[in-house]
């Protein structure tokens, strides 16, 4: 099922349901569809809100992790959310952590899955070569344990980004900004419940990254998902949702 995109003020977002807000933050090559099963599962109990990160819309000087942080800060204020449950995948997890560090009074819980912030191999050893479809296909498939999860639509989307000079520049700027902004010293300051849901076969933020987050975060629980890569909510949505639901039942509402 596809969900409508709301365009208001300078924000584009999807929002379904009612109740305490769950704010979902997608990754560098993420999309709204990554979270469709999660929206369907939780919108009967929560307000599920997904702001579309303006990865290709900001000025070049603002195309960095700080620019994404400002955008999310403004979005939460715009929606008048008093206290949120943050869920972040990959780059979205990095932004979630920065938001939580700056606004701990606004965060009830946080869930990280394949998050950057400590270590990542976000673009592999080299950036996908322009015009090389097979290379892009291989790199996109490597995001998942099951390569068939990389649909032709997804591969075509990544290929289009790689071959669009302005988009490619912004992806590189964002990835470099995330790598520079390591949160190891700051992570222990997050004193609220955190759920870590990690693909056991993640090639981008490997299993040891989830273990390191677990060691550093004072109130965290770690769940590994077997036969799973960088996006557990896509590869194993039912299991992901069951873990998240149990976590939210402990600390939500």
- pLDDT the model gives residue 40: 94
Averaged pLDDT score across all residues of the chain: 90
The structure tokens listed for 239 are 């299991």
Order of strands, edge to edge, in the sheet holding 21-25? 6-8, 11-16, 47-51, 21-25, 84-89, 107-113, 194-199, 220-225
Topology (CATH) of 6-121+182-251: Rossmann fold (3.40.50)
Which residue in the block uniquely carries the two structure tokens 């700051």?
186
Q: Any idea which of 5-14, 53-62, 126-135 has the lowest mean pLDDT? A: 126-135
DSSP per residue, 130-168: TT-HHHHHHHHHTTSSSGGGS-HHHHHHHHHHHT-HHHH
Which sequence spans correspond to the domains of the chain?
6-121+182-251
Per-residue pLDDT at 127 exceeds 70: no
Q: How many helices (H) and strands (E) does the chain have?
A: 9, 8
30 pLDDT more than 90: no
Between CA 79 and CA 87, with CA 82 as vertex, the angle to 5 degrees is 80
% of the chain at pLDDT higher than 70: 94
Residue 193 has pLDDT above 90, yes or no: yes
Crossing angle of helices 65-78 and 91-102, in 10° steps, is: 60
Contact (CB, 8 A) for 114 and 232 = yes
Contacts of 8 (CB under 8 A, 6+ apart): 78
pLDDT class of 253 with cuts at 50, 70, 90: low
């Amino acid at each position: 099922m596809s969900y409508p995109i709301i365009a208001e003020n300078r924000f584009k977002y999807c929002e379904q349901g009612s109740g305490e807000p769950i704010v979902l933050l997608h990754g560098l090559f993420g999309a709204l569809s990554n979270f469709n099963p999660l929206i369907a599962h939780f919108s009967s109990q929560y307000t599920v809100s997904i702001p579309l990160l303006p990865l290709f819309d900001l000025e070049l000087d603002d195309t960095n992790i700080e620019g994404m942080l400002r955008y999310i800060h403004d979005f939460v204020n715009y929606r008048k959310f008093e206290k949120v449950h943050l869920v972040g995948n990959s780059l979205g997890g990095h932004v979630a952590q920065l938001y939580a560090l700056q606004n701990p009074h606004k965060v009830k819980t946080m869930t990280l899955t394949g998050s950057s912030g400590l270590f990542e191999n976000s673009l592999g050893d080299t950036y996908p070569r322009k015009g090389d479809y097979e290379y892009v296909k291989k790199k996109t498939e490597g995001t998942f344990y099951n390569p068939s999860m990389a649909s032709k639509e997804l591969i075509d989307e990544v290929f289009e980004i790689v071959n669009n000079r302005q988009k490619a520049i912004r992806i590189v700027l964002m990835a470099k900004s995330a790598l520079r902004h390591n949160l190891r010293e700051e992570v222990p300051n997050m004193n609220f419940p955190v759920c870590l849901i990690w693909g056991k076969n993640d090639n981008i933020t490997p299993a040891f990254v989830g273990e390191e987050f677990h060691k550093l975060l004072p109130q965290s629980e770690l769940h590994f998902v077997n036969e799973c890569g960088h996006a557990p909510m896509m590869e194993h949505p039912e299991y992901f949702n069951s873990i998240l639901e149990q976590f939210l039942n402990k600390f939500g509402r």
